[in-house]
Amino acid sequence: MVLLAIAIFIIGPLLVGLSMGLDRRITARLQNRRGPPLLQPFYDIAKLFSKRPLVLGDLQGMFAVFCLAFQAAAFGLFALGGDLVVAFFISSMGAVFLVLGAYSTPSPYSHLGANRELLALLAYEPVLFLVIIAVGVNGSFLAGEVSRDLLGRIPLALLALVPVLVILLEKSPYDIPAAHQELATGPYVEYSGPYLAVLELGRWYQLAFVYGIATLFVWGDSAITDVAFKLILPFALLFAAIVIDNITARLTRRRMVSFMLTAGVGLIAVNLVVSYLTGVI
């Protein structure tokens, strides 16, 4: 089990990096472009690590390292079959360190990106937390012991993960922190070189954790079908986010927060109430 957890810990972010490359390719094709190579995200990471480190503040680099450490710890706890609630709060701390790193620089653009990142946290974290509560409400919060009937019991919770991924992938209509027409890269704007690579790896681990929660909704009858389902579902969610990105325009910060706190939370609440009334939970 430990070897399996180590394999998941290593392979998880690598699959996320591969999905980033696939995202760029599919988006380019939808826009009638050729697009970059599939492994371009890995080339970018390698190139960033080869550059000379440069920071504007004494704490900026430290916050970047803490962001990666906490996101990796959250996914590592998930890979070990640990408590999903604890993993959620660890991942939240990693997201907070990203914001603190942006605030630690004297750049007004970085501060503006940090403000918008905080709004994004306010929008998606309550939904993600309620998804985890819904996953464990009728069984266990341990990732290795969750019920195998989640898709039939709380399908709307899986649907609520889609806008969460749209925000984390920085796609329209909720690419508020990045705001490519205004801020370029949001809280990452004053990072470069190895520290930017560290933050990108932290983002991969964060996405791996969210994708991992989604994989708990599907199970196969055999080991092969189980692995196949758990690989297909995250890529299906990614494709849904890509389609949403290409057919919508960016909305305002207020509409992002209001939608997530009404529609996102509402989907999970309705699912839990219906499941309770029908005796499923």
- pLDDT, tens digit, for every residue of 89-105? 999 999 999 999 999 98
Rounded Cα distance between 33 and 246, Å, is: 13
pLDDT at position 139: 75
The pTM for the full model equals: 0.94
Give the residue from 126, 204, 202 showing the smallest Cα distance to 164. 126
Tokens, residue 204: 């991969």
pLDDT over 70 at 176, yes or no? no
Helix ranges restricted to H, 183-264: 193-215, 223-247, 253-259
Rounded Cα distance between 187 and 170, Å, is: 12
Which residues, 6 or more positions from 57, have their beta carbon under 8 angstroms from its beta carbon?
104, 105, 106
Give the start-to-end residue ranges of the domains of the chain: 2-277
The predicted-structure confidence for 41-75, as pLDDT tens digits, reads as follows 999 999 999 998 887 877 899 999 999 999 999 99
Give the residue from 247, 98, 102, 68 showing the smallest Cα distance to 166. 247
Apex 110 CA angle, 115 and 240, nearest 5? 65
